[in-house]
Structure 1
């Protein structure tokens, strides 16, 4: 049901009151860096943690190797609607920068995104919002692939949050594994709210 002008005015009045409310925020705790986890082989840990949450990682020497590995996946070979934000690795069939309405991306088969760095302790990748013509590209595609430099990895989230302070985008997100839920009958379902499968390509020449 379409909201009426009265509903819109009431909602805006509530938001305006919230914005004028001053909330005292306690200071963040100091982190003892000597007690923060570090990994001797962070890449190996990242791959292991990503697999635990349903993702799959591939180590490749060159961006040219990404397409070859994707071609081994049936659902990529048959895909017709591909948005690539990493054109040096994979050429796309849709130019998302020419799309004004994100709803037009509802039938995208694959999004190929660029990751800035990896986090070993939880198998996540930071995506800078400036690389996304539309935020929804990470979540609306049936399948997601992320290309990330092998040299760009941190051990833990404390280090990760220090890294993202240097990014200027108003939006960014940590991505790890395909979407999943087990709310219904305690049965695990992958791809419930986002991509069915996540492929991560750790590239040596980026």
Structure 2
């Protein structure tokens, strides 16, 4: 038996007994206005929120806030007249010049402003990380209060790749100055759709 095998066998033999997960029901938060809480949190971390009643209203906002002369992509068929549809068959590197990506989130978290994205809503895994500006469509009914609620929600989902994205990329470790767009999108916009 090799050293590696003997170490792994010793670790396997000396496992602690299983214990039940702690009760976290005391952390349950009942938001009076979860949409307002989400909006306040997300704008507080450098994002921008537009509350809309119709998805088509996005078409009026895009030209005002983004450079429409540059490449825009989307996974939403409803927006295919203003942005190129993301292709699953395209080489991921071909998206290196995307100015604006518009995708739909599965849900968003009021506690920290994060959106939950899985690869089936991203179109291509690289899209929300490589674009200059990220716009995400979130339905108001999909908002959850806390990360506890978020993890409970995704525990029963079946997905290959997913991630939480909370606002534009940023860092504050360079001379104690906050820098937005440090290693990902320069800006992040959420279109919050009231149903």
- The question of a shared fold, defined as TM-score above 0.5 by the shorter chain, is answered with yes
Deviations 1:98-149 (A, max 9, x none): 312x222111111111111111111111112222332111100000000111
Kindly indicate whether the alpha-carbon contact (under 8 Å) linking 1:146 and 1:199 is maintained by their aligned counterparts in 2. yes
Report if the CA contact (8 A) 2:75-2:85 is conserved.
no
| Correspondences of 1:20-31 after superposition (within 5 Å) | 24=15, 29-31=21-23
Q: How much has 1:28 moved relative to structure 2?
A: 6.9
2:142 to 142, 152, 156: 152
Aligned to 2:84: 93
Deviations along 1:3-62, whole A, 9 cap, x unmatched? xxxxxxxxxxxxx98xx7877587574233133333111110000000111001111001
- 1:130-145 equivalent positions in 2, closer than 5 A: 130-145=120-135
Shifted more, 156-165 versus 30-39: the winner is: 30-39
Counterpart residue number, 1:34: 26
Instruction: Report the secondary structure of 1:51's partner residue.
Output: helix
Q: Which runs of 5+ in 2 are unaligned?
A: none
Identify the match of residue 63 of structure 1 among 55, 60, 70: 55
Q: What root-mean-square deviation, in Å, do the aligned CA atoms of Structure 1 and Structure 2 show?
A: 2.3
**1:184-205 alpha-carbon deviations (Å, 9 max, x no partner):** 1112110011000001001134
Alpha-carbon distance in structure 2 between the residues aligned to 1:150 and 1:126: 14
TM-score by length of 2: 0.85
Q: Is the 8 A contact 1:109 1:143 kept in 2?
A: yes
Q: Name whichever of 83-92 and 161-170 sits farther off.
A: 83-92
